[in-house]
Amino acid sequence: MNAPVMNAAILLLTDSRLPAGGHAHSGGVEQAVTSGAVHDVPSLEPFLRGRLHTAGAVAAALAAASCAFASCTAGAPPTWGDLDAEVDARTASPAQRAASRVQGRLLLRVARRLWPSPVLEELAEAVPSPHHPLALGAAAHAAGASSEDAALAAAYHAISGPATAAVRLLGLDPVAVHRLLADLSRELPTHPPVAWTGARPDARQSVWADLPAHSAPALDLLAERHARAQVRLFVS
């Protein structure tokens, strides 16, 4: 009876039909298919699970922190630029950093039209091409969603995009792939690891710096190989 209700705006933010360019990114699946690592639904499962618990977990925490930061008093340290730099530091691959900024810029552009907000204008002025988790968290705040909602959206985005790309690349049974997503949905975060609200302004920098920084070397290598590929269907 007292369980929190997810803000319906999160459905828009996680919808692949949102015109924010997400459909053009495979999250490493295209190169994984090219290498033979992913070739059917059973081989797709460990790829998605690994992505969820590494890059997805980091993105979820960062999006939650961004959403919480957006509700803080303006001018309190750190700044949007500082937070964007923290995302940069947690994204080792230059190709993945570039892809994150492209998706962040497009999402911010759409969010500013859907949910006009001073927070989104401040972010756009401070960081014209923010990382995707930063833009997602700010957009969630502008839409009236919670940090938990933002974390859920980021984690789901980390696996749903690659899953859809795998269907397109390999002609997989979409029902079987969505069954896999349904199973993985039990592992999506429900309580993001951030305690920003109520923290003293001088303590907020350390709160952000202490967020997860799980590495995924295999995803980094796939991203770099994909960036150098002469023929590719997806941007990343």
| Six token digits for residue 98 | 């570039």
Q: Kindly report the CA angle at 97 between 95 and 101, in degrees rounded to 5?
A: 120
> Does 4 have pLDDT greater than 90?
no
Question: DSSP letter string over 117-185?
Answer: -HHHHHHHHH-SS--HHHHHHHHHHHTT--HHHHHHHHHHHHHHHHHHHHHHHH---HHHHHHHHHHHG
> Does 176 have pLDDT greater than 90?
yes
C-alpha–C-alpha distance, residues 153 and 162, integer Å: 14
- Residues 103-159 have pLDDT tens digits of 999 999 999 999 999 999 999 999 999 999 999 999 999 999 988 899 999 999 999
For the entire predicted model, the pTM comes to 0.89
C-alpha–C-alpha distance, residues 138 and 119, integer Å: 7
Contact 176, 101 (CB under 8 A): no
C-alpha–C-alpha distance, residues 194 and 212, integer Å: 10
Mean pLDDT of all residues belonging to the chain: 86
* Reported confidence tier of residue 198, pLDDT bands at 50, 70, 90: very low
Higher pLDDT, 92 or 207: 92
